Amino acid sequence: MTNRKVIIRDAEPSDTEAIRAVLEDAYAEYEQLMPKERWEAYKDNIAHSLTDANVKARLVAAEEGVILGSVYLYDTSDAAYGLPELNIHGPIMRLLAVARRARGRGIAAALVAGSIERSRAWGADILHLHTNDMMQTAVRLYERLGFERAEEKDIVKGDSVVKSYRIRLREVERSIGVKR
């Protein structure tokens, strides 16, 4: 049996539809957990992200040419969310997604490692992300990889809180495949 290797690389324009499919597949599990209006807005946000000029980098996880996961990097909270008041002037990781059929293989951790490498290459000291409690698997991954809560950067939307996490890039462990 051939040992297939997942490669993290920059997305190409020809990857857009495959990224859309991965995002729709990965986030579909949350449809039943959100009010209909919120879900529709979330889907619109995902669709907009595919062509959003504010995205600084789009990374994909590919195996034998098949896109299995993706993640976006923005360079400020204004670019990522239209929220300059969050005062984040460094990389923000958004919309980390792995196709459901490919989960459990370390692809999400590899995409995070790729995001960390890219953030370091840009000269950043901290990588931020935002998530919420319904995404418990993602929260556990981020905490296992060394992300810590950054409550002062939370986003409050009505009665829900989108929780902020950050990782200090100089303190990242080798365990996720990123060299210091």
* Domains identified in the chain and CATH numbers: 6-176 (3.40.630.30)
Place of tokens 């810590």: 148
Statement: residue 1 has pLDDT above 50: no
Report pLDDT digits (tens) over 77-88: 999 999 999 999
CB atoms within 10 A of CB 71: 26
Instruction: Tell me the residue length of the chain.
Output: 180
The Cβ of residue 56 has, within 10 Å, a number of other Cβ atoms equal to: 17
SS3 call for 16: helix
Whether residue 175 has pLDDT greater than 70: no
The mean predicted confidence, pLDDT, of the chain is 89
Closest to 64 in 3D by CA, of 131, 2, 142: 2
More confident residue, 48 or 124: 124
* 145 vs 136: CA distance, rounded Å: 14
| pLDDT winner (highest mean) among 33-42, 44-53, 120-129 | 120-129
Q: Is the pLDDT of residue 2 over 50?
A: no
Phi, psi of 161 (to 5 degrees): -120, 125
| Bigger pLDDT: 3 vs 18 | 18
Which of these, 65, 55, 53, 50, lies nearest to 20 by C-alpha position? Answer: 50
Confidence of residue 47 (pLDDT cuts 50, 70, 90): confident
- Band of residue 3 on the pLDDT scale cut at 50, 70, 90: low
Q: Is the pLDDT of residue 74 over 70?
A: yes
**Are 131 and 141 within 8 A, CB to CB?**
no
Q: Is the CB of residue 128 less than 8 Å from the CB of residue 166?
A: yes
Sign (positive or negative) of CA dihedral 136, 137, 139, 144: positive
Element housing 8 (H / E): strand 6-10
Share of the chain above pLDDT 70, in %: 93
Give residue 38's pLDDT band: very low, low, confident or very high (50, 70, 90).
confident
More confident residue, 49 or 166: 166
- For residue 88 the two structure tokens come to 């984040």
Q: 24 and 67 in contact (C-beta within 8 Å)?
A: no
Query: Per-residue b/e over 13-34, b at no fewer than 16 CB within 10 Å?
Result: eebeebbbebbeebbeeeeeeb
What predicted TM-score, i.e. pTM, was given to this entire model? 0.89
